[in-house]
Structure 1
Amino acid sequence: MAGNPERRAALVDAGVEVLAREGARGLTFRAVDTEAGVPVGTSSNYFTSRDDLLSQIDARLHVRLAPDPDVVADLLTRPKDRSLVKALMHDLTARATHDRTGYLGLLEMRLEATRRPELRASYTQSVRADLEEGMRFHHEAGLPGGDETVMVLYLAMLGLLLEHLTLPGVLEGALPGTGVPEALVERIVETIVPATEPRGTGPH
């Protein structure tokens, strides 16, 4: 297989564009070549199969949508309370909104996984690893709440981003005074994440 890493990355990003725009059924090597502006047959020199391309798209999207380590490090200098969880969720929302194509690509991967057992197994493992990493981060950062808090927060944010990036009109104006998505992030965190008890006010 061809070994030019820059060309491979460009082809994978082109695959993300095709996946988000046309769905998994439209993700062909020819479509990727056209999107990337390269000669027909180029993609087949870089990926052993369509499954290989989907696997590399999954890995690439984890990089594209990952938090900036410097941003996270700065946020973690704040008190480890509910307001910090809000800031982290706002950062998540901003990243998904900024790379809407990437997030839609993730959603298309989920849909394709429902149709193909082999992809479902690998993609379930990938998403489960993300959830477990979120639990680990939450615990090690000393944020309020436990694993159940993280799981419910994950599900709520997944639903918010799904609506916001696909059918934003569903949420717009549904609750008076609730903006989309910023104010809803605030509501979600306040509802799910327990408030940190001020020092000195606990049981004696």
Structure 2
Amino acid sequence: MASRREVLLDAAISVLGESGIHGLTHRAVDAAAGLPSGSTSNHFRTRDALLDAVVGRFVVREQANWEEIATAIAPTTPRELAETIAAAARDSAGPHKTLTLARYAILVEAATNPALRARLTTGGARVRSWVFAWLRLAGSSSPERDGPIIMNYVAGLVLHQLANPDPAFDPTEEIATLVASLIQPREVAHDRP
């Protein structure tokens, strides 16, 4: 069962995802959580304290989503990698849309808030490590180069899907083309007579 603090932070993430950074107020979080007025300010005295705690909770939730995917799938070919990443993109723009919108709101805020930027960088390291591991399994000779290219491309795809929803959103072929351009097929050793 979630603690009251987690209930408030999850409500704050919903507020961010639905109303953006300017909609994040103590009163809005109280209402979204269905708790009495003043509940949020009892836990987080200032808006900065609330936002800092939201980022921490956001990182936990996003890592949990990725962990669910990462522990269930181990893509070993570029095609499997593309399909896995496309499934994650559809999840980000679908069932976890509010969390994804909150991520974009936090990213924009982090552009002018170095403390938030540092927390996001630290929190994102685990997700990056999973993507790099997938890239290695799929045959990438340079996961540290390929990972950011793929992740940034997918972030753009998801952002466009959120801004202009396409009910048939399936970026599998686009992602497969990108992955194939980065990961060259493994050479197969041939027996010589």
The two structures have a TM-score, normalised by structure 1, of: 0.76
Pair 1:109–1:74, CA change in 2 (3 A): closer
Task: Tell me if 1:195 matches 2:184.
Answer: yes
Q: Which of these residues, 162, 171, 185, is aligned with residue 175 of structure 2? A: 185
The alpha-carbon deviation at position 115 of structure 1 amounts to 3.3
Superposition CA RMSD, Å: 2.9
Structure 2: 5+ residue runs without aligned partners? none
Aligned to 2:3, the other structure's residue is in SS state helix
Q: Which has the higher contact order (CA 8 A, sep 6+)?
A: 2
Task: Tell me if 1:165 matches 2:158.
Answer: no
Task: Tell me if 1:104 matches 2:101.
Answer: yes
Q: Which residue of 2 aligns with 1:175?
A: none
Greater CA drift, 151-160 or 130-139: 130-139
The two structures have a TM-score, normalised by structure 2, of: 0.79
What does the per-residue CA deviation read over 1:104-140, in whole Å, with 9 as the maximum and x for residues that have no partner?
Answer: 000000111223343334334444x25642465246x
Q: Which of these residues, 146, 151, 167, is aligned with residue 148 of structure 2? A: 151
Aligned to 1:142, the other structure's residue is in SS state helix
Q: Which residue of 2 aligns with 1:57?
A: 54
Q: Residues of 1 paired with 2:70 and 2:114: CA distance?
A: 35
8 Å CA contact retained: 2:66, 2:127? no
Structure 1 runs of 4+ with >4 Å offset: none
Aligned to 1:115, the other structure's residue is in SS state coil
What residue identity is the alignment partner of 1:45? N
What residue identity is the alignment partner of 1:82? P
Q: Which of these residues, 91, 95, 106, is aligned with residue 91 of structure 2? A: 95
What residue identity is the alignment partner of 1:84? E
Number of residue-to-residue matches in the alignment:
186
Q: Which of these residues, 27, 32, 51, is aligned with residue 30 of structure 1? A: 27
Pair 1:182–1:165, CA change in 2 (3 A): farther
Greater CA drift, 90-99 or 47-56: 47-56
Percentage of matched positions with identical amino acids: 25
8 Å CA contact retained: 1:153, 1:189? yes
Greater CA drift, 52-61 or 35-44: 52-61
Q: Which of these residues, 64, 79, 85, is aligned with residue 83 of structure 1? A: 79
Pair 1:96–1:135, CA change in 2 (3 A): closer
Q: Which residue of 1 aligns with 2:117?
A: 120
Task: Tell me if 1:42 matches 2:32.
Answer: no
Q: Residues of 1 paired with 2:38 and 2:169: CA distance?
A: 47
Aligned to 1:67, the other structure's residue is in SS state helix
Q: Which residue of 2 aligns with 1:133?
A: 129
The alpha-carbon deviation at position 184 of structure 1 amounts to 2.5
Greater CA drift, 49-58 or 92-101: 49-58
Q: Residues of 1 paired with 2:161 and 2:127: CA distance?
A: 21
